[in-house]
Amino acid sequence: MNSTKSCLVRDYMARTLVTFKPETDVLDAVHELVEHRIAGAPVVDNAGNLVGMLSELDCMKVALQAGYHGDAGGPVAGFMTAGVQTVDAEMSIVDLAQEFIDSRFRRFPVLSGNRLVGQISRRDVLRALEFIAHH
């Protein structure tokens, strides 16, 4: 199947992302996620390197602590998940589809080198596979 080899993550990933800095106030981050209707966002340092992900679940813990216990939150770095599983921009969509099947993740940050260049979701992969099936 040569047509699948030319179908790469970089061809289907989202390039415009909401991102946070480690020092961003986590309550501001929660507000951004709710406002943009997204379930999570990458956390990057000043050089654009991925340092973690802030998920809906991370934010739910923050919101519960702030609302119920009166805690004030703190920097995103204290709540994000570090050591995030990523995919390479040059990975084939077919290989990534298998990766999604084998994992519980709904999306992966996409790196080129160590640089965050996008994000790809299950829905993006489904769109790519549908395209492959019809071409």
What are the DSSP calls for 70-92, one per residue?
A: -----BGGGTSBPS---EETTSB
- Is the Cβ–Cβ distance between 58 and 79 less than 8 Å? yes
Output the tens digit of pLDDT for each of the chain's 135 residues.
Answer: 444 446 899 999 999 889 999 999 998 998 999 999 988 899 999 988 899 999 888 888 887 877 776 667 789 999 999 988 999 999 999 999 999 999 988 889 999 988 899 999 999 999 998 888 887
Distance CA 80, CA 69 (A): 20
What pTM was computed for the model? 0.80
Using alpha carbons only, how large is the chain's radius of gyration in Å? 16
Element holding 24 (H helix, E strand)? none
Nearest to 55 by CA among 46, 69, 42, 70: 42
Return the SS3 of 38.
coil
